[in-house]
Amino acid sequence: MKGTKRFLIKSETGSNLSEADSDYTIVVDDYRTKTETEGGRLIKYKKRVLSDLFGQSPPPTVTALVELALGTYAADRLVKRGPTGAKDDGEEMLKSRQIQILYPVVDVEKWQPLESELNHAVSFISRDNFQYRFIDAIDENQSIDEGAGGHCGQLPETDSVALFSGGLDSLGGRFYLADEGRNPHFVSVDHGRNVGHLVRNFDHLFDGNLISIGVDEEFSAYENTQFTRSFMYFAFAAAVAVALDVDDIFVPENGVLSRFSSLGSGWTTTRTVHPLFVKSLNRIFDELFPDRKVQISNPFIDYTKGEVVNCIPNKEDIFFTRTCPHPRELSQKKDAAGHPYNCGECIPCLIRIIGLVNSEHNIQPDGLLLDKNYFLDFDFSTVSAETIAQSDQSRQSSLSVFLLGLNAHLSFAYRVQTSTQKELVSSNPELLDSDIYGLYEGFSKEMFRTVEFFAAENPTLEDYVTEFLSLEDEELDCLN
């Protein structure tokens, strides 16, 4: 798919709209509806979950936000990006795409001023050029009266909303928020990849205070990166917050991945809870819900992965989490106790390994539940920083991605360990902030403790790191 791709998002609203100005149509509909798309790409969600929360159909602004995010996610999945083809550039691994979204809304005066902010926010998280255009919907039956809303009386009393994915960070968030005296209602978005099964592993921790919203793609996807999925998550979280009459939305993700300072901008992994994206989306929520103060925050923005894992009191719960966002053939792979596997090759898995090894839970290599544990099993003497194959960088998980990610984090951690804060600020201005600097000081120590942990059984790892960082004898021992 070359050039700009133009998508029209259609739902019950705007069903009579002309499609002349678009290349493709994305139809967003309810799970229960049998929709004839006539060549359109169909994505469904369990609209009834939101209707039950509101006690009626959600307000038009809520519905429009959710369906816009779903349509954006579908467009993201439908346009293949491919590699850049730049063999010597280890940071720019992906092509940027040109994607235009046309969306009819019943209160166009509210949405049109947000086009620029949405363009910026979604382009930032996707590493693409997204352009939104809102037009009047053709729907004589839909009112723009938002109404007061309301929520189901059977739900537990709550003071906030928190996202829960079944991963380490969201599990850590569940315990952290409880320790802080918060009582959130948890929201899970089940968009496949075995998310629903993962979340059910933790039913015992929520006592009914968790809802799952199903999303189903009824089209053949061409792209696997899914960088826009957090827009979908946040839209559902905002909808639930409005329904429950609360303003705080918590999205727990460790600061190393959230801030993304230790990786270049082109890496094949997520920065979907980056502070800049969160700020931008909060500005959008301010305009969409002017009578409220719906705001997203990340309680772990200054936490390393190891510190997040330490928030989880029960070691056994850790083994039921999955961090890997693209397990492919691992989706059904489990050990004898039913614990899911992680691929061990991608950037999120790399950060997971570092977090588990550095936690207080004393987790050993055979308890990491990895399909591939390169730290332990790979012969690092067979490669060098100059000879790492980059031919399959377009994949999100591979030996190349693992090694390039390891190199990037080693280089960053080494600079943090051996430079002053003033020296670091010249290349990473955000490290002037003491909290951010403290985050990466802690992470750099975790990085080198991880090397020491695995090098005890795999000496080729120590030799590789020593050569890669041009260290003197025994200098590595001083870096943790």
Instruction: Please give the radius of gyration of the chain, using alpha carbons only, rounded to the nearest integer.
Output: 23
pLDDT tens-digit series, residues 435-456: 999 999 999 999 999 999 999 9
The reply to whether 241 and 124 lie within a common domain is: no
Residue that is last in its domain, among 136, 151, 177: 136
The reply to whether 180 and 231 lie within a common domain is: yes
pLDDT tens-digit series, residues 61-93: 999 999 999 999 999 999 987 654 444 444 445
Q: Is residue 306 part of a domain?
A: no
Q: Which of 310 and 192 is assigned the larger pLDDT? A: 310
The reply to whether 465 and 337 lie within a common domain is: yes
Q: Which of 312 and 10 is assigned the larger pLDDT? A: 312
Strand partners, 5: 99
**CA diameter of the chain:** 77
Q: Is residue 321 part of a domain?
A: no
Q: Is residue 148 part of a domain?
A: no
- Count CA within 13 A, CB hemisphere, residue 56: 8
Residue that is last in its domain, among 255, 274, 297: 297
pLDDT tens-digit series, residues 360-399: 999 998 889 898 999 999 999 998 766 664 544 455 667 8
pLDDT of residue 95: 78
Q: Is residue 318 part of a domain?
A: no
Q: Is residue 144 part of a domain?
A: no
Strand partners, 17: none
Number of other CB atoms surrounding residue 414 within 10 Å: 20
Q: For residue 21, give Cα distances in angstroms to 5, 18, 36, 133.
A: 11, 8, 21, 11
The reply to whether 350 and 431 lie within a common domain is: yes
CB 135 within 8 A of CB 104: yes
Q: What percent of the chain has pLDDT over 70?
A: 82
Number of other CB atoms surrounding residue 247 within 10 Å: 17
* Residues with Cβ within 8 Å of residue 219, at least 6 apart in sequence: 41, 42, 43, 74, 77, 78
Boundaries of domain holding 112: 5-136
Q: Is residue 141 part of a domain?
A: no
Calpha distance 364→152 (Å, rounded): 45
Tell me whether residue 311 is exposed, middle or buried, using C-beta atoms within 10 angstroms of its C-beta: 0 to 12, 13 to 18, 19 or more.
buried
Residue that has been written with the tokens 């739902």 in this structure: 11
The reply to whether 340 and 435 lie within a common domain is: yes
pLDDT of residue 392: 47
Three-class DSSP labels, the chain: CCCCEEEEEECCCCCCCCCCCCCEEEEEEECCCCCCCCCCEEEEECHHHHHHHHCCCCCHHHHHHHHHHHHHHHHHHHCCCCCCCCCCCCCCCCCCCEEEEEEEECCHHHHHHHHHHHHHHHHHHHCCEEEEEEEECCCCCCCCCCCCCCCCCCCCCCCEEEECCCCHHHHHHHHHHHHCCCCEEEEEEECCCCHHHHHHCCHHHCCCCEEEEEEEEECCCCCCCCCCHHHHHHHHHHHHHHHHCCCEEECCCCHHHHHCCCCCCCCCCCCCCCHHHHHHHHHHHHHHCCCCCCEEECCCCCCCHHHHHCCCCCHHHHCCCCCCCCCHHHHHCECCCCCECECCCCHHHHHHHHHHHCCCCCCCHHHCCECCCHHHHCCHHHCCCCCCCCCCCCCCCCHHHHHHHHHHHHHHHHHHHHCCHHHHHCCCHHHHCHHHHHHHHHHHHHHHHHHHHHHCCCHHHHHHHHHHCCCCCCCHHHHC
The reply to whether 345 and 458 lie within a common domain is: yes
Least confident among 121-135, 189-203, 243-257, 325-339: 325-339
The reply to whether 234 and 109 lie within a common domain is: no
pLDDT of residue 339: 83
Q: Which token pair is 148?
A: 């007061």
Number of other CB atoms surrounding residue 226 within 10 Å: 20
- Count CA within 13 A, CB hemisphere, residue 198: 31
Strand partners, 215: 45
The reply to whether 21 and 57 lie within a common domain is: yes
Q: Which of 222 and 117 is assigned the larger pLDDT? A: 117
Q: What's the average model confidence in pLDDT over 287-313?
A: 96
Q: Give how many domains the chain has, as a whole number.
A: 3
CB 217 within 8 A of CB 192: yes
Q: Which token pair is 15?
A: 């069903």
The reply to whether 346 and 267 lie within a common domain is: no
Q: What's the average model confidence in pLDDT over 168-183?
A: 96
The reply to whether 132 and 167 lie within a common domain is: no
Q: Which of 96 and 419 is assigned the larger pLDDT? A: 419
pLDDT of residue 396: 61
CB 225 within 8 A of CB 205: no
The reply to whether 93 and 170 lie within a common domain is: no
Number of other CB atoms surrounding residue 278 within 10 Å: 22
Q: Which token pair is 399?
A: 């030996």
Residue that has been written with the tokens 């003491």 in this structure: 434
Pick from 223, 277, 241: nearest CA to 80 = 223
pLDDT tens-digit series, residues 249-295: 999 999 998 887 777 655 556 678 899 999 999 999 999 999 999 99
The reply to whether 19 and 113 lie within a common domain is: yes
Residue that is last in its domain, among 297, 319, 345: 297
Q: Is residue 145 part of a domain?
A: no
| pTM (two decimals) | 0.90
**What is the length of the chain?**
480
Q: Is residue 463 part of a domain?
A: yes
